[in-house]
Amino acid sequence: MDDEIVANLKSLSIDMINKAGSGHPGVALSAAPILYTVYANHMHINPKDPEWLGRDRFVLSAGHASSLLYSNLYMLDYLTLEDLKKFRQIGSLTPGHPEYGVTKGVDISTGPLGSGLASSVGMALALKHLKTKINIIDNYVYVLCGDGDLMEGVSYEASSLAGTLKLDNLIILYDSNNISLDGSTSMTFDEDVRERFDAMGFYTTIVHNGHSTGEIDKAIRRAKKSGLPSLIEVKTTIGAGSLLEGTNEVHGKPLTEKDIVQLKRKLKVKDEAFWTNDEAIKKYRDKVMTRSNKKYEEWQVQFNEYMNRKDIKNFLDRKIELNITENPFNEIVAEATRDSASKILNFLSDQSDLFFGGSADLASSTKTYLNGKGDFSKDNYSGSNIRFGVREHAMGAILNGIATVGYFPFGSTFFAFSDYLKPAMRMSALMNLPVTYIFTHDSIYVGEDGPTHQPIEQLSNVRSIPNMTVYRPADFKETLGTFITLTSLKKPNAVILTRQKVNQLKGTNPREIINGAYIVKKEKETANAIFIASGSEVALAINIASELEKDGYDIRVVSMPSVELFLKKPKNYIYNILKPGVKTFFIEASLGDELRRFVSNDKYLITLNSFGTSGKYEDVLESMNFSQEQIKQRIEKLL
């Protein structure tokens, strides 16, 4: 049966690519025995309950092998033959790269290389954490990756952390075919991959004959006994069986008709598009389901007792109880919003186990450490503080993996370094995962550390990601409102916080954050102007407004902690806050391209448009024409 199924997986993949007119035959032909062995002999899954918490996970980090994954998901009853025929068509369940939330059985979206592997570390980590609460969790994360995945820095970062954390539930299968898109990897990737993974604390092994499902199976069994995260190098031939096998020519475009005919002959499958070996498929399915059903039924029985536990119920519902009937916080005076967030995060993590995360070696600066919750380490998987190391990109990818397991994870770093993990933020947004990115040191107020550490365009950049909600609270109350809102919305989001102290403002209101923007200082009679601001510039705007009032102006100040939430409001709300026809300024220590929609002319944007500079922050503001006095004068000329 093994060979028959492998052959049929290959032929179906080739048929799909051929019908779509695009796709990647090379990896489908080289990696079919690997993927098959994992599913046939190891995976515990249930197509009728594809989200089953107790399932094993499979990550196709080489996302361009999607046709292979879909063929397999067809055989295991997640997809129909019709779905396979719609490969890479609009609205199908079989898009060009695997998409989480679109296709049942796809545990995470992949495509950008390195991303899947890095996220799989998050899954493995989350399963270890969850096992400390639900002891019956006993699952593996299997990853299929290629040379390209391993060349990407993000996969190194995540693997190094997996080794440090001894995540023995992570098994990486490396389709080692020595060919990438542009040719032989000897030109670009001459390292000893297994030795590198040895150095990172992995168990490593090799399968010399990548056609042999038996050898692959034995390697996986060795890996499981190792007590370490594992890398199994499987030597394969790209495009095995094609006339172009072993060359980069077979990587990324459909095979010719002639090639398909001879390939199918070699594979001993019928020369008929989308032919299926129904007898073998039935055997395969029975084998997987017999094993899986046994575990599934045991799980159901054992899990019942957990279902009575409130924390578990909340976990399964991704429910966070942010019960703030009485204010649990002491009177707050002037403090940085990073400090406000620190208190709130700690409060939240007391209320809900879903909050789980860490920092890219900046917890002492971003203040996101959860006190008394312990460090997640190889000796303590119940710890709730993940020390990601100086690995921003992997942090983001790992958060995505953690979120797919059911958590509401967070990660923090300096805002300037959001650039490093933007690719992961985009994946959070694409998958609509409830990941919270916490970025502190949010503008030129960073001061002495200079332009490399001073965000300018970053706020525009994170706001530009579709489906990402960005919050930039003005003080403690708004920071509290931010977390109340984001835990209720459960979407991908970013929270932008100050390093420097800000005053607590009279007009701010936690309950208004959900509206995106609201009036924090009403005009006395008829507004001559409206100042919109976010974060630390709200206090600045209020101060300037108050000063200008002495000169007879009447000014409304609007706090806009979230542009995205405000833009979702109905028109009448928007026009109530922003009065069309009234001169409107936006004051924000950022680039502000996305704010232009709120002002009638570029000159009313009081923003930044060049890199910062190193110096005391008051001097930096002055040098960039952004001190309170300078802004007041700039505005006064325009009133």
Sites for a copy of itself among residues 417-476 (CB under 8 A) = 417, 419-420, 422-423, 426-427, 429-430, 447-453, 456-457, 460-461, 464-467
SS3 state of residue 75 = helix
Listed residue (64, 62, 44) closest to 54, CA to CA:
44
Return the residue of 308, 325, 526, 610 that touches a copy of itself, per CB under 8 A.
Answer: 610
Q: Residue 620 belongs to what H/E stretch?
A: helix 617-623
Return the residue of 257, 326, 525, 602 that touches a copy of itself, per CB under 8 A.
Answer: 602
- Is residue 571 a contact point for a copy of itself (CB under 8 A)? no
Q: Which of the ranges 282-290, 306-314, 403-411, 606-614 carries the binding residues for a copy of itself, by CB under 8 A?
A: 606-614
Listed residue (403, 409, 417) closest to 365, CA to CA:
417
SS3 state of residue 169 = coil
Return the residue of 2, 15, 83, 99 that touches a copy of itself, per CB under 8 A.
Answer: 99
Q: Residue 420 phi/psi, 5° resolution? A: -65, -30
Minimal distance, residue 315 CB to a copy of itself, in Å: 26
Pairing mode of beta strands 170-176, 230-235: parallel
Active-site choice (152, 233, 392, 594): 392
Confirm whether 392 is a catalytic residue: yes
Rounded (10°) angle between helices 25-41 and 213-226: 60
- 632-637: list long-range contacts, CB under 8 Å, 24+ apart: 632/544, 632/547, 632/548, 634/606, 635/529, 635/531, 635/544, 635/548, 635/585, 635/606, 636/548, 636/551
Minimal distance, residue 314 CB to a copy of itself, in Å: 29
User: DSSP string covering 438-491, please?
Assistant: EEES-SGGGGGG-GGGS-SSHHHHHHTSTT-EEE--SSHHHHHHHHHHHHHH-S
What's the CA gap between 232 and 220, in Å, rounded? 8
C-beta separation of 62 from 146 below 8 A: yes
C-beta separation of 513 from 562 below 8 A: yes
Each residue 114-133 as x (binds a copy of itself by CB under 8 A) or -, in order, gives: x-------------------
**44 vs 64 by CB, closer to a copy of itself:** 64
Beta strands in 483-561 (DSSP E): 493-496, 501-502, 518-521, 529-533, 555-559
**113 vs 281 by CB, closer to a copy of itself:** 113
Minimal distance, residue 490 CB to a copy of itself, in Å: 19
Token pair of 282, please? 């039935």
Instruction: Provide, for the chain, the percentages of residues in helix, strand and coil under a 3-state DSSP scheme, each rounded to the nearest 5.
Output: 45, 15, 40
**52 vs 420 by CB, closer to a copy of itself:** 420
Minimal distance, residue 154 CB to a copy of itself, in Å: 5
Cα dihedral angle (345, 351, 353, 356), rounded to 10 degrees? 0
Beta strands in 325-372 (DSSP E): 335-336, 355-359
Q: Which of the ranges 40-48, 213-221, 276-284, 355-363 carries the binding residues for a copy of itself, by CB under 8 A?
A: 355-363
- Is residue 510 a contact point for a copy of itself (CB under 8 A)? no
**Hey, how many other C-beta atoms are within 10 angstroms of the C-beta on 88?**
18
Minimal distance, residue 214 CB to a copy of itself, in Å: 29
Minimal distance, residue 206 CB to a copy of itself, in Å: 14
**77 vs 619 by CB, closer to a copy of itself:** 619
- Is residue 97 a contact point for a copy of itself (CB under 8 A)? yes
Return the residue of 1, 3, 89, 582 that touches a copy of itself, per CB under 8 A.
Answer: 89
Minimal distance, residue 83 CB to a copy of itself, in Å: 13
What's the CA gap between 599 and 580, in Å, rounded? 10
Each residue 51-70 as x (binds a copy of itself by CB under 8 A) or -, in order, gives: ------------x-------
What's the CA gap between 180 and 152, in Å, rounded? 13
C-beta separation of 445 from 589 below 8 A: yes
Return the residue of 160, 400, 482, 584 that touches a copy of itself, per CB under 8 A.
Answer: 160
Q: Which of the ranges 160-168, 399-407, 496-504, 516-524 carries the binding residues for a copy of itself, by CB under 8 A?
A: 160-168
How many residues lie near a copy of itself (CB under 8 A)? 111
DSSP state of 552: T
Interaction residues for a copy of itself, span 162-221 (CB under 8 A): 163-164, 180-183, 185, 187-196, 198-201
Interaction residues for a copy of itself, span 393-412 (CB under 8 A): 393-394
Minimal distance, residue 578 CB to a copy of itself, in Å: 13
Each residue 277-316 as x (binds a copy of itself by CB under 8 A) or -, in order, gives: ----------------------------------------
**277 vs 359 by CB, closer to a copy of itself:** 359
**277 vs 366 by CB, closer to a copy of itself:** 366
**361 vs 547 by CB, closer to a copy of itself:** 361
**393 vs 491 by CB, closer to a copy of itself:** 393
Minimal distance, residue 354 CB to a copy of itself, in Å: 23
Return the residue of 25, 33, 148, 357 that touches a copy of itself, per CB under 8 A.
Answer: 148
Minimal distance, residue 272 CB to a copy of itself, in Å: 24
Beta strands in 29-133 (DSSP E): 57-60
CA distances from 202 to 163, 170, 198, 228, 481 (A): 6, 10, 5, 6, 43
Return the residue of 12, 232, 341, 362 that touches a copy of itself, per CB under 8 A.
Answer: 362
C-beta separation of 123 from 402 below 8 A: yes
Return the residue of 8, 11, 30, 359 that touches a copy of itself, per CB under 8 A.
Answer: 359
- List strands edge to edge, sheet with 469-471: 375-376, 385-387, 355-359, 408-414, 436-440, 493-496, 469-471
**575 vs 611 by CB, closer to a copy of itself:** 611
User: How big is the chain, counted in residues?
Assistant: 639
Minimal distance, residue 416 CB to a copy of itself, in Å: 7
Return the residue of 226, 351, 377, 543 that touches a copy of itself, per CB under 8 A.
Answer: 377
**214 vs 252 by CB, closer to a copy of itself:** 252
Q: Residue 47 belongs to what H/E stretch?
A: none
C-beta separation of 461 from 523 below 8 A: no
SS3 state of residue 56 = coil
**453 vs 521 by CB, closer to a copy of itself:** 453
Minimal distance, residue 309 CB to a copy of itself, in Å: 30
What's the CA gap between 291 and 293, in Å, rounded? 6
Interaction residues for a copy of itself, span 3-22 (CB under 8 A): 20-22
Catalytic residues: 392
